Structure 1
């Protein structure tokens, strides 16, 4: 290894370039900038204003924030569905005067006061919802008109009832407690706002109604096409908005007990600034309660601090307008360029150096031949993408397809087929357990078992998250292949924790070691990671000693052995370090050896590119994905090897006519059955000299 290679290896080994892409891909990254801005705001005003962090100032700020936070949450709900509500300030004022009139003039009990006030806000929201949702009027103009009408209504009520309201003194302790009381040392209004924020968070993230709201905000046409009642959803968001805004006015009335023409004026601008500043999108579909809370705290601190510093109300408006303009510009630019920027930084190639590829010329154990030419085709044109193939005790063939079916070809002639089970995801590796249940790795879903009665059971779809991992590696993205130990434990590979099923070739561009091997124990239902940092781990096959298994690392072009039990437990040994191609599934052979599928062959250009991570990074950033340099996965080969790593025979299809891409093979009663994720058939090849009675089921579980 040259000095340049050594330095390049150290640089890409110790500098985690992929962390930037991982961080930017997280949902919480949208909250990072508002949180930083909140910290900056606290630092600046804390330094400029004496006693800023004092108990009295904090208590006053919290009580004001409780009311303002409810208004921001109200606006956030509408924005989540792709709308806007400029009437929240007027509705706030209506809630304030309605509450004062009901309790001071009408002398109603507090429960009726609360219900009546919220009903006023809900009515305003219903009017907005009907006009915008059902009559499909423009939200901006509609709520602007509502703002004017409701403000005129508030002024009319003031003219008639200002004196009685001012003279009234409600004799109700609960009424004053709402405005001035505390729960567990926290102002009552803050408790209400936090409960509302928690409720909104649960609705948006955990309920069907919340998913409908975000779907409508993301794309109303798409939401309508999938059956979501778009008009009703929009209408209900405005009803919820009006109710929360009126509730905020109710709390304001109980705290100050005053009614005036200027109450709520400009609040819609402050609330809109807070919602957008917190990271809620004006375009809809990207909103959360946490963003609303962060934004409302920032705006409340700025406005209150400017007042304490003696600046005029014009300065407040100027500051809010400037902040809103900047927030909108950042929101629009970030949403427009987020995915473009992320695509340039997420793929993070590292340095990799494969051993010299062995030759495939005459005299080599990998010598080219045409031994796959006599392969017979089963289900030609009737199956799409049989990645793995397996046979049961009755000689039936099982394969998966691209649309989530497991197809069973019925013995003895395999001319008839049926859908054995529909699993929904992409079936990949398969194995039979001791009870005849078919255990399947399903890409994007996890590990499942299909019993003989065709009932489907989820075994696991997550494992323990790594303690210091930026990547959320608890969810299984690409469960690939599996095998079952004598005690029933299932060891399966997850090829990559960074990419989804359809992106698996991109993992090769990184060659970073994003994969792992996981163990599911049916005895206690636990799932744990056994091996990490593997380079696209793929095929897994139990060794005959009952204490270890073989596994393939596709992009590393090697086969290794891991001991999970016995005196060598926890040890990993390399069996074949320099394969000429990319290994896939491994399965037992009748002579005690093992079959291995090579999904494609190495090329000098790509091997050289693995030692040039900078070149691959520039390629990803500057070249269209369909023109990237990918590994060759179009040449099929099957080889047989032993536990010492010696290759005993190879079977090639040099012209690529029968099986251009081979991902799996199974020996069964003197024949080799071949699958390929890009093929439209199952291959069947006679094996001269093979045991005509040997099956995988008896090799694992004996005679049943």
Structure 2
């Protein structure tokens, strides 16, 4: 029986830490999963033609195919940048055709140096693109009609140049090794034009994703009106995108000229439609504001491989066109469906409940005689700062006896003077300040939800300690960022131990973690002396209360949803080990702090109730609930009634203080003992409570408990 119970406990632990649905939801959440359908099609096409086309996967073909693809790749990037900005460029193929002739004319007829030809060709493309940019950006012409007209004009220019110089170009002999290298050379076995394409693609990716102009282009594509309202130079950037498009087409044109040495008038014909198809197939939205260079490259590879493969299989041109069209329609349809429903799929599987068995509810009936029995001890406590403070999640007193509260506005509010009648804003941190502790230099250290760990000097100056910890190598999602640091305490050696309640949910959705009941939290250590931050305990279930023990040997960590307190040893022979220190509380735990008699105080932010206890034992029920019922109808942990429990030095309950109706101090999240009084904070309260304690040391304070009689010269 004992072995079966142990095996069940191990299985429950494994289930609480690992879930295929979590892995799948994390995988689908990655931005690089958005083009999953096009990428799968690309891989499938390459695999199919490698198996069916003779000599397709040979070393020679693996060099020649990328060489033939490179120029089209530049045009796809050009089209992608313009579409992301909210426009379209139907003249890209015609620009390639013009630059191809100009480059051949300069190298063969006028015998110009290759460097000059290369630069002049790119400049020619930029000028042609700039003409589009002026019309569309500054004169506000419509992109589709404008580039359709310039397509016709540029094609006519190709005809004119070709008639005038076709014979001279065709009969000229180009004896230039640099030109040959540009067209047919290799760099470490890779074609030169492919190397240039890779370099341009990388630069383009960085430009769009990591530069201010790139962000502005994305913003213009998303909403031109909104971009103009925030001060973005819309006209200038729109013109710039067409200049870049033209320059990329110029680059494609000169490389095509070097590779083919052909002055044909059909060069670039139809490339605009093929490039447009490629970028849309890659997942770039025609509405603008969405897409990457990588997606454009995926779409371009699909189109190129499909056309090339069908031709090499001997398919007639019309059949190839029909096959291309059908596959593209299917792929675009799948991609649209995928883009539309990916978020819905993630939403359906993201919350992954696990089994949590609280055990039998402890006796709390009024006449039970239990130290946990309900009472009205908090019904008439004194209110400090009534209607002067919003949601003081944590409260603390400094060496001088001034009272601080962390508020919903992102402030630290301080009360001082006789009966704490004077109020001032000590610091404006931002975020959601939660747990607080004073270090030995009287700096107030604060956990800020959504921001990390911060400090406030005695003069009110705010500084950052850390906003990240070490990343877990095997997790898909980067868990180094601190999402919900919520409580902390400071060890005798100055190291700060703080809890992060959950790494899967944000500040606004923390309560969903309770429905899941999974080990999404962690205990983190920050050493101010070295600046190092590291996770010391992973996979904790909503750790939401941290207190260094009186002897400084361990850290007590309250687990809200498990209704128990863990002890993590930071010194002594058990250093690095963790055990359960107190278990089976009648409610959901929040902050835990020292008491004057060597014991501890712990806040209950809410009280357990049978329906939720039963639901927590059935992950299947909760999974169906989150899939089929609107979120506002879910069963959540009860977080209404207020309660504070006094524990002895061994974690045994000694007394409890209740506000059963939750009228005076609901959702109590913190409490501090100071010189004979207990000060109460609450997440939803508009006051700080103060309760006179009986039979306690009225000279005891939290500051002296941690730092003794040490003083700091504040002058």
TM over 0.5: yes
Report SS of the residue matched to 1:651. Answer: strand
More moved, 107-116 vs 259-268: 107-116
Equivalent residue in structure 2 for 1:29, among 26, 33, 39: 33
Match of 1:203 in 2: 207
Counterparts of 1:182-193 in structure 2 under 5 Å?
182-193=186-197
Could you tell me how far 1:552 is from its partner in structure 2? 0.7
Report SS of the residue matched to 1:348. Answer: coil
Could you tell me how far 1:137 is from its partner in structure 2? 4.0
Q: Would the aligned equivalents of 2:37 and 2:334 in 1 still touch at CA under 8 Å?
A: no
Report SS of the residue matched to 1:663. Answer: strand
1:518–1:10 CA distance, 2 compared to 1 (3 A): closer
Task: Verify: 1:95 aligned to 2:99, yes or no.
Answer: yes
Task: Verify: 1:630 aligned to 2:674, yes or no.
Answer: no
More moved, 478-487 vs 651-660: 651-660
1:174–1:597 CA distance, 2 compared to 1 (3 A): same
Q: Would the aligned equivalents of 2:665 and 2:685 in 1 still touch at CA under 8 Å?
A: yes
Could you tell me how far 1:10 is from its partner in structure 2? 9.4
More moved, 385-394 vs 627-636: 385-394
Could you tell me how far 1:351 is from its partner in structure 2? 1.7
Match of 2:127 in 1: 123
Q: Would the aligned equivalents of 1:557 and 1:579 in 2 still touch at CA under 8 Å?
A: yes
Cα distance in 2 for partners of 1:699, 1:621 equals 49
Report SS of the residue matched to 2:169. Answer: helix
Q: Spell out, residue by residue over 1:454-473, the C-alpha distance to the aligned partner (whole angstroms, 9 max, x if none).
A: 33332222222222223322
Match of 1:56 in 2: 60
Q: Would the aligned equivalents of 1:96 and 1:259 in 2 still touch at CA under 8 Å?
A: yes
Equivalent residue in structure 2 for 1:614, among 609, 617, 620: 620
Could you tell me how far 1:12 is from its partner in structure 2? 5.1
Cα distance in 1 for partners of 2:513, 2:540 equals 11
Report SS of the residue matched to 2:254. Answer: helix
Q: Would the aligned equivalents of 1:494 and 1:515 in 2 still touch at CA under 8 Å?
A: yes
Task: Verify: 1:169 aligned to 2:193, yes or no.
Answer: no
Match of 1:282 in 2: 286
More moved, 188-197 vs 82-91: 82-91
Could you tell me how far 1:695 is from its partner in structure 2? 2.1
Q: Would the aligned equivalents of 2:554 and 2:571 in 1 still touch at CA under 8 Å?
A: yes
Counterparts of 1:522-561 in structure 2 under 5 Å?
522-561=528-567
Match of 1:470 in 2: 476
Could you tell me how far 1:86 is from its partner in structure 2? 2.4
Q: Would the aligned equivalents of 1:593 and 1:643 in 2 still touch at CA under 8 Å?
A: yes
Equivalent residue in structure 2 for 1:583, among 571, 589, 598: 589
Report SS of the residue matched to 1:156. Answer: helix
Could you tell me how far 1:502 is from its partner in structure 2? 0.7
Task: Verify: 1:307 aligned to 2:295, yes or no.
Answer: no
Could you tell me how far 1:192 is from its partner in structure 2? 0.9
Cα distance in 2 for partners of 1:302, 1:46 equals 12
Cα distance in 2 for partners of 1:51, 1:300 equals 17
1:419–1:178 CA distance, 2 compared to 1 (3 A): farther
Counterparts of 1:592-611 in structure 2 under 5 Å?
592-611=598-617
Cα distance in 2 for partners of 1:214, 1:633 equals 43
Cα distance in 2 for partners of 1:84, 1:670 equals 73
Match of 2:438 in 1: 432
Q: Would the aligned equivalents of 1:441 and 1:447 in 2 still touch at CA under 8 Å?
A: yes
Match of 2:73 in 1: 69
Match of 1:325 in 2: 329
Report SS of the residue matched to 2:510. Answer: helix
Cα distance in 1 for partners of 2:617, 2:446 equals 36
Cα distance in 2 for partners of 1:368, 1:28 equals 53
Could you tell me how far 1:555 is from its partner in structure 2? 0.7
Equivalent residue in structure 1 for 2:260, among 248, 256, 260: 256
Cα distance in 2 for partners of 1:679, 1:636 equals 11
Match of 1:667 in 2: 673
Counterparts of 1:444-463 in structure 2 under 5 Å?
444-463=450-469
Cα distance in 2 for partners of 1:600, 1:471 equals 31
Task: Verify: 1:156 aligned to 2:160, yes or no.
Answer: yes
Cα distance in 2 for partners of 1:236, 1:400 equals 48
Could you tell me how far 1:9 is from its partner in structure 2? 5.6
1:411–1:66 CA distance, 2 compared to 1 (3 A): farther
Report SS of the residue matched to 1:568. Answer: coil
Cα distance in 1 for partners of 2:137, 2:421 equals 56
Could you tell me how far 1:237 is from its partner in structure 2? 2.1
Report SS of the residue matched to 1:96. Answer: helix
More moved, 421-430 vs 543-552: 421-430
Match of 1:241 in 2: 245
More moved, 587-596 vs 109-118: 109-118
1:82–1:359 CA distance, 2 compared to 1 (3 A): farther
1:144–1:272 CA distance, 2 compared to 1 (3 A): same
Q: Would the aligned equivalents of 1:273 and 1:320 in 2 still touch at CA under 8 Å?
A: no
TM-score, normalised relative to structure 1: 0.94
Could you tell me how far 1:109 is from its partner in structure 2? 3.5
Q: Would the aligned equivalents of 1:353 and 1:610 in 2 still touch at CA under 8 Å?
A: yes
Equivalent residue in structure 2 for 1:86, among 70, 87, 90: 90
Equivalent residue in structure 2 for 1:344, among 348, 361, 373: 348
Match of 2:269 in 1: 265
Q: Would the aligned equivalents of 1:276 and 1:324 in 2 still touch at CA under 8 Å?
A: no
CA RMSD of aligned residues (A): 2.4
TM-score, normalised relative to structure 2: 0.93
1:129–1:354 CA distance, 2 compared to 1 (3 A): farther
More moved, 659-668 vs 406-415: 406-415
Could you tell me how far 1:573 is from its partner in structure 2? 1.8
Cα distance in 1 for partners of 2:349, 2:486 equals 26
Cα distance in 1 for partners of 2:389, 2:139 equals 49
1:425–1:225 CA distance, 2 compared to 1 (3 A): farther
Q: Would the aligned equivalents of 1:389 and 1:399 in 2 still touch at CA under 8 Å?
A: yes
Q: Spell out, residue by residue over 1:53-93, the C-alpha distance to the aligned partner (whole angstroms, 9 max, x if none).
A: 21221111121222222111112222323333222222222
Aligned length: 703
Cα distance in 1 for partners of 2:686, 2:392 equals 7
Could you tell me how far 1:504 is from its partner in structure 2? 0.4
More moved, 543-552 vs 225-234: 225-234
Q: In structure 1, list runs of 5 or more residues that go unmatched.
A: none
Cα distance in 2 for partners of 1:401, 1:136 equals 49
More moved, 150-159 vs 124-133: 124-133
Counterparts of 1:633-672 in structure 2 under 5 Å?
633-672=639-678
Q: Would the aligned equivalents of 1:443 and 1:501 in 2 still touch at CA under 8 Å?
A: yes
1:409–1:81 CA distance, 2 compared to 1 (3 A): farther
More moved, 95-104 vs 245-254: 95-104
Report SS of the residue matched to 2:458. Answer: coil
